Structure 1
Amino acid sequence: MKIIIYQLFPRLFGNSKQQTVSGGTLKENGCGKFNDISDKALKELKAFGATHIWYTGILSHATCTDYSEYGLPASHPLITKGRAGSPYAVRDFYDVDPDLAEDPAQRIEEFKALVKRSHRAGLKVIIDFVANHVARQYHSTLKPEHLPDLGKNDDQTLGFSPNNDYYYLPGQTFYPPEFVKPFGPENPIDIDPLSYSENPARVTGNDCLSSRPSLFDWYDTVKLNYGYDIFTGQEHYEPIPPLWFKMTNILLYWASMGIDGFRCDMAGMVPVPFWKFAISEVRKKFPNLLFIAEIYEPGRYAEYKGAGFDYLYDKVGLYNILHDIFVWKHPASRISDHWKSLQGLDDYMLRFMETHDEIRLASKYFLSDPLKAIPGMLVTACLNKGPLLIYNGQEVGEPAEGATGFSGDDGRTSIFDYTRMPALQKWVNSGKFDGRLLSEEQKTLRNFYKGLLSLAQKTAVAHGHFYDLMWVNQHYPAPDPSRIFAWLRHCNGEILLFISNFDSEHIQRFRLFIPLHAFGVLNLDVNDDFLLTPVFCFPDIDQTSFTFKGYLAAYDGIEFSVPASSASVFLISKYEI
């Protein structure tokens, strides 16, 4: 089965508030809860095609909402991004976000119940593991008593020591960036800019070695030290640094709670030897645990795969290429260049066209019309047998319009603010999860995604092999390789032909050639007759089955006419008279 990950952000997924204000508080703008992700919701997501749910923003993180009565005071606003705070500025690895609980005192139990509901629905659970950095005010209240807190035993007079959990800047005081507006420019706050400081300063999460990081640095976080001397580049991994054991214990804690996998945030900024150690240790007890690496350096993909990661982010590869094809009209032939560059790792890439980090497809800053993404999504879902990720709201054209506070109007759904997803709210429909409030266009879009996820589970896609047809389709009357990408997938006699038309304005008419070499790979006789049957076409046009002679497909090509911004898939089978 092909892994289909539905990334669900609980803070927003269950928020039913219809009116919100930019930079508003939890009380003003509302907040989704664990309990909003009901049995009905999970049943519908399973029916949609999801196999895994990536619950984003689960871990307790920096926030300006005060939970002092539960031992969780508000974070300092000058080192917190937004009122809700960044889910990636974790303040307790052993706790969950109290915002997400109906009763904050029972927050862990409510999360455990969500995990059980998810499993009952036949869905596996993924959460984030943020290994590179923590919130500046990190303090665990729920860690096992015998374990020291992060930084507790550090020698702060040393910039680096393999026994320290953090890196320090001795003799320097940390100050937050000037002119920081944590609640957005519309909500200035009257607070002493010197009211928060650290002495000595600690190195900021994005490897910023300045005690005065900028607004563009990860100033709300502190870098963790795995034995790599950030100042000299030297490695100190023997004896094993104490942080390795602490972080491995955190993975074991969540795995014992029933978590099925971890999306490892900024894994590429954490040394490979740690990952190799931690993943192997955790799998001794939980051998089927899934590990996904967020990494943006193709030259290091093989190294991270060798460390034990199951899948790697394909952001700087396929995602960026598809973005450039859509926005800058780059040639579709770049897709061929990309899979070749992966040198056999293609099946281990996690592919997507939206995540919490990326601009929404329906945003005015990207495509505006989410239906134009159809040819790119066909490539994303069916190029290889690796996992596919869908971000909540993508399937109904969430546009991420307007400023919501800290993040501003940037085409992304804010992960820093209390806000809502108005398009998704129409599908949620006050907890009915029936989509009755969706527009006809939104229903069409969601039906496309549902059909695509079903297509991705076909044997040829989920378990089969890939054959790129573009090497033999370069010149007229073959398809225009700048706008058309065509390929085959095949397994155990099932053969599928895929055609994506990236031209958003014109029908593309061409003759597609299937070379003699492909017939050999597919173990087909070129002298046979074959039936071409449409199995998935968007836009939904009147495509009929037709026959062709094998050798004619190789020498004369097969005539096609495909609509603008379309995805077409055909089953190739031997024609029996």
Structure 2
Amino acid sequence: MKKFFILAAMALVTFSCQETELQEPESMKPKKIIVYQVFTRLFGNTNTTNKPWGTKEENGVGKFNDFTDTALEEIKKLGVSHIWYTGVPHHGVIGDFPEIGVESDDPDVIKGRAGSPYAVRDYYQVNPDLAVDVTKRMEEFEALIARTHKHDMKVIIDIVPNHVSRHYEGKNNPAGVRDFGADDDKTVEYAKNNNFYYIPGKAFQVPISKNGYRPLGGEKHPFADGKFDENPAKWTGNGSRLAQPNFDDWYETVKINYGVSPDGKKDFDELPTGANSLDWKAHYDFWQGKDVPDSWKKFKDIIQFWLGKGVDGFRFDMAEMVPVEFWSYLNSHIKMTNPEAFLLAEVYNPSLYIDYIRKGKMDYLYDKVELYDTLKHIMQGHGSTDNLAPILEGLKDIEHHMLHFLENHDEQRIASPEFAGNPWKAMPAMVVSATVSTSPTMIYFGQEVGEPGAEMAGFGQPSRTSIFDYVGVPQHQKWMNGGKFDGGQLSDNEKALRNYYAEVLNFTRNSPALMGEYLELHSFNRKQNPAYTDKTFAFARWDESQKLIVVTNFDEFQSVKTTLKLSPELVKEWNLEKGERVIKEVMFGKKKTTLRVNENGADLDLILGPWESAIFEIQ
């Protein structure tokens, strides 16, 4: 524990200096994008009851208005450029809202009490739980957009094109907009312009629960009767074609039809040869006059609605389950409205990355199954940094498009025992994740103060902060400090952790080298240097104005004491002059060391403690 407090003290001392030192003119472009994902319903909740399956009256619920000017300014101080407000569109939720004529959803087809944000019930409204005055819920969200922009940050929300709530009800459609399924031919399984797939002749049946699960934890509810009226049954969101899907299926949702028949035939035009090399304007031109399926048009209209509200970008859920041609159509239309729109997609199949970037015109994809999973294994003590270099090499052509993260709403909290058990274990991974490429970096609210996600909330299970339940987020609440947003209830060690994140993110946001070139030094040192182990990772980043050496030590117990060698390739690229010079660290503890350049190459002496990182600048 002493080591953690040494790190904490170091982070506290250095951040106060570094924040001033790294300021640079706003005109310097480009800059790294830093995304702060926040689960909107949980952010402002100060209630600490955390009763399993608790109601919003018992456990509390956050509001749009909780994102005050003070809160937003403190988020910005982390280095944040974009806030992803998760769970904004009106999704299924248990509870009536008589003021707006909205009846409770059915617990038999809702996960949790507060409902999944990925089972959208009405795309033209916001979740009424998030409003102080539900009759003015959209106005409250519009005010939040304006406040966020006032603090010079962009707004991202979720769009879920693959599926909608089983109880989709478009009560707020703009004039002329027909609801999903309103014009479907329900006598057939599939038709090009049907919005859903059907199972003719069969009614939907609620899945058989397992492991003793009961909706609302067994609480009595007039709709919790094991039945839901849907006849004919629709395909379930994850593609299940059963009238009674399995309990592990996404049974609270139904799949959207994009003009792909059950046997895989596409009822729309294919993209032309060479489409992956065409810009979004050419893609937009291609789709003009084409007969596209009705679902394409509906989502285009939805997106344009939110762009009109001032939303700056979107995170697209399960994008790989929707044909890439649709993304070409949708994203090119988005860029015609806002060329700077931020488009992030959830794609987990690496073989699809290039198509969804170059044909689908996505700006960014999750780098989950390669970089995140590898860093997680290393943090847990059973992975090797030798695995990082080939991953980065394999993605080098699309590195800018692969968003990096260590937490999000789907993943385990770093501080949970199921992941790392100690939030400081993430620090080397955070440095690598944030500095190794030009791609955006994302953190999840509470990550920066070590939230472990330990609550048994109801449908949500410990190790992940529940997205299905009304729950408080204890570590985040300590930082929130009753609405002061000053970290007043955090321990010194927890404050230091947040300062560490702020230092890393602010540095990466403002360092020109990190939008420049990359060369790994790991492989060269593993071959040339016996004291350099597979718990260390080193690389160079540079542009015309700045040259950096980044080194991290992932070892929990052992210090690194070695001579780091610069590869001949880097010495030539940087045109390093022979001789010795003192170089110093530009983050953290302000270490100094000597860079030696001679006819045989270049090297520098290096000492790093457990979990310590260093970034040296060569003048």
TM > 0.5 between the two?
yes
The answer as to whether partners of 1:460 and 1:495 remain within 8 angstroms in 2 is no
AA of the residue aligned to 1:398:
E
Q: CA deviation at 1:125?
A: 0.4
Distance 1:530 1:299, change over 3 A: farther
Aligned position for 1:212: 244
* 1:318 match: secondary structure: helix
Pick aligned residue for 2:478 from 421, 426, 431: 426
Whether 1:361 and 2:414 are equivalent positions in the alignment is yes
The answer as to whether partners of 2:187 and 2:200 remain within 8 angstroms in 1 is yes
Whether 1:235 and 2:286 are equivalent positions in the alignment is no
Distance 1:399 1:468, change over 3 A: same
Please report the TM-score for the alignment, with normalisation by the length of structure 1. Answer: 0.95
Q: CA deviation at 1:185?
A: 4.8
* 2:617 match: secondary structure: strand
CA distance in 1, matches of 2:518, 2:65: 42
Pairwise mapping of residues 443-454 of structure 1 onto structure 2 (< 5 A)?
A: 443-454=495-506
Whether 1:76 and 2:113 are equivalent positions in the alignment is no
Aligned position for 1:339: 392
Name whichever of 59-68 and 248-257 sits farther off: 59-68
Aligned position for 2:487: 435
CA distance in 1, matches of 2:233, 2:531: 59
Pairwise mapping of residues 548-559 of structure 1 onto structure 2 (< 5 A)?
A: 548-551=595-598, 554=601, 557-559=603-605
- Cα deviation per residue 1:460-506 (whole Å; 9 max; x = unaligned)? 44421111001211146345442111001001131111111111111
CA distance in 1, matches of 2:223, 2:156: 38
The answer as to whether partners of 1:478 and 1:512 remain within 8 angstroms in 2 is no
The answer as to whether partners of 2:546 and 2:618 remain within 8 angstroms in 1 is yes
Distance 1:186 1:242, change over 3 A: closer
* 2:598 match: secondary structure: helix
Q: CA deviation at 1:171?
A: 1.8
CA distance in 2, matches of 1:88, 1:552: 60
Pairwise mapping of residues 556-567 of structure 1 onto structure 2 (< 5 A)?
A: 557-567=603-613
CA distance in 1, matches of 2:528, 2:195: 62
Aligned position for 1:172: 202
Root mean square deviation, CA, Å: 1.7
Distance 1:544 1:339, change over 3 A: closer
- Cα deviation per residue 1:36-72 (whole Å; 9 max; x = unaligned)? 1001111111122111100000000000121133121
AA of the residue aligned to 1:517:
E
- Cα deviation per residue 1:83-105 (whole Å; 9 max; x = unaligned)? 00000000001100000000000
AA of the residue aligned to 2:607:
S
Q: CA deviation at 1:548?
A: 2.5
Q: CA deviation at 1:187?
A: 5.3
Whether 1:496 and 2:526 are equivalent positions in the alignment is no
Pairwise mapping of residues 123-142 of structure 1 onto structure 2 (< 5 A)?
A: 123-142=153-172
* 2:155 match: secondary structure: strand
The answer as to whether partners of 2:403 and 2:440 remain within 8 angstroms in 1 is yes
CA distance in 1, matches of 2:486, 2:521: 40
* 2:208 match: secondary structure: coil
Whether 1:299 and 2:331 are equivalent positions in the alignment is no
Aligned position for 1:547: 594
Aligned position for 2:288: none
Pick aligned residue for 2:230 from 198, 216, 224: 198
Unaligned stretches of 5+ in structure 1? none
Pairwise mapping of residues 24-43 of structure 1 onto structure 2 (< 5 A)?
A: 24-43=54-73
The answer as to whether partners of 2:107 and 2:224 remain within 8 angstroms in 1 is no
Aligned position for 1:533: 584
Please report the TM-score for the alignment, with normalisation by the length of structure 2. Answer: 0.88
CA distance in 1, matches of 2:112, 2:267: 37
CA distance in 2, matches of 1:139, 1:521: 60
Q: CA deviation at 1:19?
A: 1.5
The answer as to whether partners of 1:396 and 1:442 remain within 8 angstroms in 2 is yes
Whether 1:477 and 2:529 are equivalent positions in the alignment is yes
Pick aligned residue for 2:123 from 78, 93, 104: 93
- Cα deviation per residue 1:539-575 (whole Å; 9 max; x = unaligned)? x5xx5423222127836x42212111122111112xx
Distance 1:8 1:551, change over 3 A: same
Q: CA deviation at 1:454?
A: 1.4
Aligned position for 1:53: 83
CA distance in 2, matches of 1:528, 1:176: 75
Pick aligned residue for 1:224 from 239, 252, 256: 256
AA of the residue aligned to 2:227:
S
CA distance in 2, matches of 1:414, 1:401: 10
The answer as to whether partners of 1:134 and 1:222 remain within 8 angstroms in 2 is yes
Q: CA deviation at 1:402?
A: 3.0
Aligned position for 2:373: 320
AA of the residue aligned to 2:189:
G
Name whichever of 197-206 and 178-187 sits farther off: 178-187
Distance 1:245 1:501, change over 3 A: same
Whether 1:350 and 2:350 are equivalent positions in the alignment is no
Corresponding residue pairs, total: 565
Whether 1:394 and 2:442 are equivalent positions in the alignment is no
Distance 1:242 1:186, change over 3 A: closer
* 1:517 match: secondary structure: helix
Pick aligned residue for 1:22 from 52, 56, 60: 52
Distance 1:571 1:204, change over 3 A: same
The answer as to whether partners of 1:478 and 1:511 remain within 8 angstroms in 2 is no
The answer as to whether partners of 2:367 and 2:404 remain within 8 angstroms in 1 is yes
Distance 1:395 1:416, change over 3 A: same
- Larger relative helix fraction: 2
CA distance in 1, matches of 2:221, 2:461: 16
Q: CA deviation at 1:120?
A: 0.5
* 2:586 match: secondary structure: strand
The answer as to whether partners of 1:486 and 1:499 remain within 8 angstroms in 2 is yes
CA distance in 2, matches of 1:285, 1:444: 42
Distance 1:458 1:112, change over 3 A: closer
Q: CA deviation at 1:179?
A: 2.4
Whether 1:252 and 2:299 are equivalent positions in the alignment is no
The answer as to whether partners of 2:34 and 2:440 remain within 8 angstroms in 1 is yes
AA of the residue aligned to 2:595:
F
Q: CA deviation at 1:435?
A: 0.7
Distance 1:493 1:286, change over 3 A: closer
Distance 1:305 1:510, change over 3 A: same
AA of the residue aligned to 1:16:
T
Pick aligned residue for 1:102 from 125, 129, 132: 132
CA distance in 2, matches of 1:186, 1:156: 34
Aligned position for 1:12: 42
Distance 1:553 1:13, change over 3 A: farther
Pairwise mapping of residues 364-383 of structure 1 onto structure 2 (< 5 A)?
A: 364-383=417-436
* 1:41 match: secondary structure: helix
CA distance in 2, matches of 1:507, 1:184: 50
Q: CA deviation at 1:521?
A: 1.6
The answer as to whether partners of 1:385 and 1:461 remain within 8 angstroms in 2 is no
Distance 1:467 1:338, change over 3 A: same
- Cα deviation per residue 1:395-431 (whole Å; 9 max; x = unaligned)? 000111131101122x000000000111011111111
* 2:344 match: secondary structure: strand
The answer as to whether partners of 1:336 and 1:468 remain within 8 angstroms in 2 is yes
Q: CA deviation at 1:190?
A: 8.6
CA distance in 1, matches of 2:104, 2:68: 29
